[in-house]
Amino acid sequence: MLKKYLSFSKEVQDAIDANQPIVALESTIISHGMPYPQNVEMARKTESIIREQGAVPATIAIMDGKIKIGLEESELELLGQSKDALKVSRRDFAYAVSSKKLGATTVATTMMAAEMAGIHFFVTGGIGGVHRGYEDHMDVSADLEELAHTNVNVICAGAKSILDLPRTLEYLETHGVTVVGYGTDELPAFFTRKSGHKLNLRLDTVEEIASVIATKDDLELPGGVLITNPIPEEHQLDRDYIDGIIAQATQDAEDQHVVGKDITPFMLASIVKKTDGKSLEANIALVYNNAKVGAQLAVAHHNIKN
């Protein structure tokens, strides 16, 4: 039954048939995470970086009642330009498919679709988490719950300090999610390499991470491993500078009563504006770095399994 909803691009279908390593990519980062045309350029280049490392990219979205695994150029362009693509979280998934609307998948729903398609690695920029002020509004991204249950390993640059990072780590610990610092003792804070929050596990090679993942699967432990990969030194932003901008954007969101799923896109766009595009450059650079590491990890894991 599920099969009738999945639609594979030729490149991804060929990769499955040839048993090649595949890396999933999300589409909300394209439709709601970055402005056009930089978003489409980022999506294309991210895909080509994954190919250069010997893996096959599979950008995921919901279109015409299908869960698309791998997008054509024209489909990337459509998503990048669309003003009304739905931001599809787990609760929206069935509606987005049944209504045949254009749906951009978040970290949570990209994980769901990747698992349906048998893909176990997924590269993105940053994940959602526990929002600041949690004690008042209980806003926790569905991304965290998905990591707890769905067996897809996610490579990201940590989470932005628009979120409550210590609570995000606590939540992940409670739900049994292994969080790896790739070459770092601290949780990276997206725009900066450091956050001041210690991680429980640091690993310095993709082979070691692949081995943990392969063992986790042998042990039949559910959920995904979260690999946090710091932004390259030369692209990181000054911590005080970006924290100041984030504080202003947080205040704007509050003043304008932005709530629910609109908060993250609002904050991202506001930060890009307030930094004159500097945050966008950093964001794109860290995605490319994650694509490289994520593809290397998928290849290392593939080598263990084959």
The C-alpha angle with vertex 93 and arms to 90 and 99, in degrees rounded to 5, equals 155
Spell out where 3-156 has E strands.
6-8, 22-25, 56-63, 66-69, 86-88, 103-105, 121-123, 153-156
Q: Known catalytic residue: 26? A: yes
**What residues numbered 134-173 form the site for ligand PSU, per CB under 6 A?**
141-143, 160
- b/e per residue, 196-231, with b = 16+ CB within 10 A? eeebeeebeebeebbebbeebeeeeeebbbbbbbbb
Residue with Cβ nearer ligand PSU (174 or 215): 174
Contact call for residue 139 and Mn ion (CB under 5 A): yes
Residue 125 contacts which entry, ligand PSU, Mn ion, none (Cβ below 5-8 A, type-dependent): ligand PSU
Give the x-and-dash track for 84-113 against Mn ion (CB under 5 A). ------------------------------
**86-88 and 66-69 as β-strands: parallel, antiparallel, unpaired?**
unpaired
If one asks whether residue 26 binds Mn ion (CB under 5 A), the answer comes out as: no
Packing angle, helices 263-274 and 239-255, rounded to 10: 130
Q: Which two tokens stand for residue 131?
A: 């929002």
Q: What is the pattern of x (binds ligand PSU, CB under 6 A) and - over residues 239-278?
A: ----------------------x--x---x----------
Q: Which does 126 bind (CB under 5 to 8 A by kind): ligand PSU, Mn ion, none?
A: ligand PSU
Active site residues: 26, 160
Q: Interface residues with ligand PSU (CB under 6 A)? A: 26, 28-29, 32-33, 106-107, 125-126, 128, 141-143, 160, 261, 264, 268
